[in-house]
Every structure is written in C-alpha cells, then in structure tokens.
Amino acid sequence: MDAYHPSLRLDLDGDALVANWRWLARQSGPAACGAAIKADGYGLGARAVLDRLAKAGCRDFFVSNWAEAAALMPLADGLSLSVFHGIGESDIAIASTVAARPVLNSAAQIACWQAHFPGRACDVMIDTGMNRLGVPLGSMGDIDLASLTIDTVMSHLACADEDRAMNAGQRDRFAAVRAGVPAARASLANSAGICLGSAYAFDLTRPGLALYGGVPRREAAGHIARVAHPAMQIIQLRDVLAGESVGYGATFTADRDMRIAIVHAGYADGLIRALAPHLVLNVGGAQCRVLGRISMDLIAIAAPESAREGDWAELDYDLPSLAAATPLNQYELLTGLGARWERRWR
C-alpha cells in the first residue's frame, strides 16, 4: 500500500488474525485449513497476511489472478498458492514465471493448460450449482482429466451463509463427482462452509472472510475476533452555533451550541454515505456520531470539549452489525476501505 496518508490508520491485529485461522483450522477437523488472500488479503495486505499465517502453520493460499500471485513471489518453501480464475491465453507469459497452480474452470482452460504446461500441477473447479466458475457437472464426461496432474479438486458453495437445502445438495454432488477425479485432495468449504460442519470440510478448507474478522454464520459468533480497526485524525475543531448547519446539503442543523471535529476520511476511503447514521467514533473515551453527510475525504463528528486537533477518532468497525444495518456486506466493508489507510500490523 503506497498511497496512504498518515491521518488515516488501519490498525491490524495480527494475533486476532492467527487466532481466527486457528479456530477455523480446529473447525475443519482433520482437513487442512488454507487462506483466501485475494483482493490483497481482503484489503488488509496479502503479503502480511500470508507471512503471519504461514508462521502459524497455514500452507495453502488462494488468490484470484496471476498478478496477485506474482506479487507474492517468491513463495517460501512448503507453501502452495492457487489462482482461482484459472488460466487464459493472456496469462501464459506470467504463469511461466510464477510458482502457482491455476484452478482450471472449463474445458477451454484445461486445454490451454495442457497445451502450454503439460504435466505441471493444477487444481480443477467443478460447478455443483453456483453457475459462476467451474466445469459444469454435465460436461465432466467431455474433459480429459487423466492427462492432468491435479493437486486439488474444488467446488464452491453458493449459499453456505444461509440454512438452505442447496448446501447439502452441492456437498453430495461434489462428493459423488470427486470420487471419479484423479486429484490428491478435495476442497469445498469457505468460511461459512466450515461452520456447516465436518461433512463439508473434505481435505482442505478455504476460509477468507472469517480470517479477517467477518462472522459468516451464527456458529462463528464469539469465536471470531476483529482484525481491522480504522482510526482517523482530527484535522480541525470548530464551534457551531445553535441553528447553524454542517456539511453538504446542510442536512444537519445544530439545536444548541456545540463543538464539532472534522476528521480525515470519507467515502473515497470506503466510508460510504449510507454508513453515516451507523458509525460511532471514539474520541478520548467519548462516543461520537457523524453529523450530516459524509464527504469524499472528510467527516464531521460531534466532539467532546477535551478533543484537540491531531487527536485520533477510532471507528467502531463491527462488521456483522454494520452489514446488518447498511447496504454493504462484510466483504464490501473490508475490501472497500481503499489505499489511503496506512495499514499497521501489531
């Protein structure tokens, strides 16, 4: 992360990250527990996440594309990296220099891999009902798996975060098709899938969200710790008189004389305007609310008398409750934060 500004701080709790992975690993039973670190580790920093989890014993990592994989090279001995989007003609050059496996998603991707990298290890994704990526169940008979060196055969659950009959249906279809695939390992569960129980774990699980403090299902509540703590600096204090308004659209009018603080962060930093009524900022122990509209780079908050310019306002960034109250889901709340936050691991 290069373009950060020291007035926006994203404090990242490395112990919480590792504790979350350990809980997910325990819930995975005898299956190995990997880590999805796509989209730069859900916005927190893929390299830092990989280093911390590898030290804790995690061996299997997943990114979306080859550029993300290349950014993690060289990989330490014993680590495995898979590229969810597979391979296309435009990836051949980079794939020849990057030690990762594609997750092959179609007959065309399989043919491409066989043509350019015969014998090199790969993974295969089978679509058991989500209709996103993966070889459709109906075309399994048309593809030549025997000539591939398959490390992991995978599928992905469409609604593991909900109690739906589709979950068991996908699991059973995956178990049936997996039996005929010459792969060393099978993998189905994301964070929510791990919470569905050991029948979903197979040989390898692939959590993302819950590593970073997201709570995918009620079973994880109380076990998953917050990792990301945004804080922003007060760049100006002002006194607003009763009857005066604050910010764009003059949507907030003071009903008394009050002290307000302007902090450096806004919707360009992922704090979209719809979050405004739900954000609570801690300034020196006082709980402060947003006043009026969030701007691109600035937010006005009620400030305690003790506040000083340069003080920090810590945002109570509780992913499950913010997701429940706003249009953003927990994934968007993490990945939307943007490049201006200084990521600081502790």
Ligand X SMILES: *Cc1c(COP(=O)(O)O)cnc(C)c1O
Catalytic residues: 38, 248
Longest Cα–Cα distance of the chain, Å, equals 76
Cβ-based nearer residue to ligand X, 41 or 270: 41
Q: Report the residue number, 106 or 190, with the smaller CB distance to ligand X.
A: 190
Of 15-23, 184-192, 296-304, 332-340, which part binds ligand X (CB under 6 A)? 184-192
61 phi, psi to nearest 5 deg: -125, 150
Tell me how many degrees the CA angle 115-120-123 measures, rounded to the nearest 5.
95
The DSSP call for residue 306 is T
Q: Which of residues 220-239 bind ligand X (CB under 6 A)?
A: none
Applying the rule CB under 6 A, the residues between 18 and 37 that interact with ligand X are 36
Distance CA 274, CA 252 (A): 15
Among 101, 206, 229, 340, interactor with ligand X by CB under 6 A: 206
Residues 292/248, Cβ–Cβ less than 8 Å: yes
190 binds ligand X (CB under 6 A): yes
Question: Distance (Å, rounded) from C-alpha 88 to C-alpha 109?
Answer: 6
Tell me which residue of 37, 109, 102 sits closest to 71, measured CA to CA. 37
Smallest distance from the beta carbon of 222 to ligand X, in angstroms? 18
CB of 191 to ligand X, least distance (A): 3
Q: Amino acid letter at 70?
A: A
Query: Contacts with ligand X: how many residues (CB under 6 A)?
Result: 11
Helix (H) or strand (E) holding 35: strand 35-36
Q: Considering the complex, what minimum distance in angstroms separates the CB of residue 63 from ligand X?
A: 10
3-state DSSP of 187-241: ECCCHHHHHCCHHHCCCEECCCHHHHCCCCCHHHCCCCCCCEEEEEEEEEEEEEC
Binding of ligand X by 167 (CB under 6 A): no
Residue with CB nearest ligand X? 208
Q: Is residue 207 a contact point for ligand X (CB under 6 A)?
A: yes
Residue 156 lies near ligand X (rule: CB under 6 A): yes
- Report how far residue 1's alpha carbon sits from residue 112's, in angstroms, rounded to the nearest whole number: 34
User: Any idea what DSSP says for residue 254?
Assistant: -
Segment near ligand X (CB under 6 A); pick from 187-195, 219-227, 252-260, 304-312: 187-195
- Residue 161 Cβ vs ligand X, minimum distance, rounded to whole Å: 8
Query: Which of 209/260 has CB closer to ligand X?
Result: 209
Q: Is 84 in the site for ligand X (CB under 6 A)?
A: yes
Question: Which of the stretches 11-19, 138-146, 200-208, 289-297 binds ligand X when contact is defined by CB under 6 A?
Answer: 200-208
Query: Where do contacts with ligand X occur on this chain (CB under 6 A)?
Result: 36, 38, 84, 156, 190-192, 206-209
